[in-house]
Amino acid sequence: MPEFQQVVGAIDWSQLVTAQMKAATAAAAQLMQMKAVLASKNASANAQILRIQDRVDTLGYGIDAGEATEADEAEQAALLVSLKSWKAYKFSLGKVTSQPAWPTAPAWPAEPPIPEIEASPMARTPDAA
């Protein structure tokens, strides 16, 4: 049977965790969390831009064909304003990482309102058969 030696006062330096190491781990976790928030905000903004742009383009086809109503033209004009706001928001998101407070306390830009698009295929429910 092997004998076990007990060494009094021996320190296993490989297990040492310093305050500096803890701070670096916390900073890395904070950075990862803020990058995830930023990616989520960017994805949301991109989805809204694509959604609005699609409707603006669709209305533009009707306007170009001479088949659009005044309501269609008014909808397009309103959506163009919304589209511009969402593009400005996305641009502002691209500057968040250059802030001095990044990643500990970034100042997030205000998200524009999400426009209601009546003709959106996502807004419709499937017809009951």
Check: CB of residue 38 under 8 Å from CB of residue 93.
yes
pLDDT per position as a tens digit, 2-56 = 566 566 677 777 777 788 888 888 889 999 999 999 999 999 999 999 999 999 9
How is residue 65 written in tokens?
């064909």
Task: Output the CA angle 52-56-57, nearest 5 degrees.
Answer: 115
How is residue 93 written in tokens?
């998101």
Q: What's the pLDDT at 92? A: 98
CA-based Rg of the chain, rounded to a whole angstrom? 27
Q: What is the pTM of this model?
A: 0.77
pLDDT per position as a tens digit, 69-109 = 999 999 999 999 999 999 999 999 999 999 999 999 999 99
What are the structural domain ranges in the chain?
Answer: 43-97
82 Cβ neighbours under 8 A, 6+ residues apart: 52, 112, 113, 115
Neighbours of 83 (CB within 10 A): 20
Check: CB of residue 120 under 8 Å from CB of residue 47.
no
